[in-house]
Every structure is written in structure tokens, then in C-alpha cells.
Copies of this chain bind each other. A is one copy, B any other.
Amino acid sequence: MEIYKNEKRQRYLEEYSIGYLFAFPIEEFLEVHEYKRDEWIIQEGTRPDFLFYVIEGKAKIYVTHQNGKVSLINFINEEDFFGEMELLNPIYYTKGVQASTKTVCFAIPFHRCRARMLEDATFLRELAKFLSVKSTQMAAKYTQSLSFPLENRLADFILQSADGEVYKEKHVTVCDFLGVSYRHLLYVFAQFCDKGYLQKEGRHYRILQPKELNGLARVLMNE
């Protein structure tokens, strides 16, 4: 982890201004942290000292179950907060957060800003919106996972995460995210190839029939 100082910090503060998210002057409190790919930003089970706001990069929220299984709860993208659970709730089992690419965040120290943030209607409104969207998404994922086979959820995921017509996510990550075994994931990929929806190219897949995938994905939707 690297903390940007002086001019470098200043450059980020100017380029990615988040002053509009707060009614009080936040800039002076902001630290700018950079994390390398695969670095753990928050350790599972250990309360963080900061509220984070992602400005560049991507991260993943993980939880480990008692049986050893690991779930990828969600992706964190640019302009997302994390650490907000610990800001709001004195008691909370902290989930692990891992950078999936090089990731730069604003880190807002709790000890200096908690009180101010919790009094700031502008910030709280943004945070409530963010949380409401997050909660809605989780609810959607939950009910979809119970109501549809992997086929549908995978079709959706492929379309969401494809780069143009090329899909290149790692299978191991996707297993944790969609909550299925590696074996089963590959079965369904093989089916999609058999049916001609996808074509394997090295370790990537080319989307040949987006319409077919779309048909499978569409049945999930409501929200």
C-alpha cells in the first residue's frame, strides 16, 4: 500500500473532487491510498480505520464461511464507498476487501471525521442512496439465485462483464461470485459453446450469439 503525499495527493484531490458529496470541507482530511492488484485493503474480521471511496480501479468483497467456502459478495467499482458499515454500526463482522486491479481510493479517517460525517445531511443522503441501491441489488441477486439455474445467471454475467464481444473473466472468481462449483461452471460454459452461443479462443470466449444469451438473461430482470 502506498500513500500519496504532497503534489501527487494534490493532483488526485483536484482531478477527482468529491467535495460535492459533503457539506463540510472534506479535502483536508482525505488521504489518497494506492493498493496493488490482489492486495487486501481490508482484512476480514478486522475493523478498518477509514471510510473508503474508490476513484480508480476495482475491488472485491469476500466472506469466508465456517465450512471454508469463500463467497465473493460483490464487486466494488469506481465511485463506490466501502467501510460504510463500520462507520454506521458499532457491531459488525467486517468483510475482506481485495483489490482486483491497481486501485486508488480516498480514505477518510474515522477518528477525525466520523462525528462530522454523521451530522452531514448532504453526505448522509448520498450514503443512503448508495446503500439503498446496494441493498436492492443484493435482494435481486438473492432472489435470482434461488429462482433460476446457473444458465440464466451466467448469461447475464457474461453480457455484463464482457469487453465488447470478448469475455475474459477468471473462472475461479466467477465461481465464488455466482456461488457454484468450478465443475458446474465449466459444464455450463461447455453447453454454451455446444449451442454456439460462445466460442472458445485460448482462455477467452467470443460471444457469437448475444441474442440467445440475452434471452436467457432477460428472464432474471425486473429491477
Contacts and interface: CB of A to CB of B under 8 A. Distances in A.
Interface in A137-163: 138-139, 141-148
A179 B73 contact: no
Interface stretch (A14-22, A28-36, A87-95): A87-95
**How many copies of this chain?**
2
A37 interface: no
Interface in A28-72: 63-67, 69, 71
Given A119-B121, A219-B66, A222-B65, A73 B135 contact: no
Interface residues of A, number: 49
A129 interface: yes
Of A67, A124, A129, A179, most buried by chain B (CB within 10 Å of CB) is A124
Interface string A104-143: 0000000000000011110011011101111110110111
Contacts of A133: 89
A221 to B, nearest CB: 7
Nearest to A179: B146
Contacts of A138: 135, 138-139, 142
10 contacts: A65-B220, A66-B218, A66-B220, A120-B121, A127-B128, A128-B131, A131-B131, A138-B138, A138-B142, A146-B179
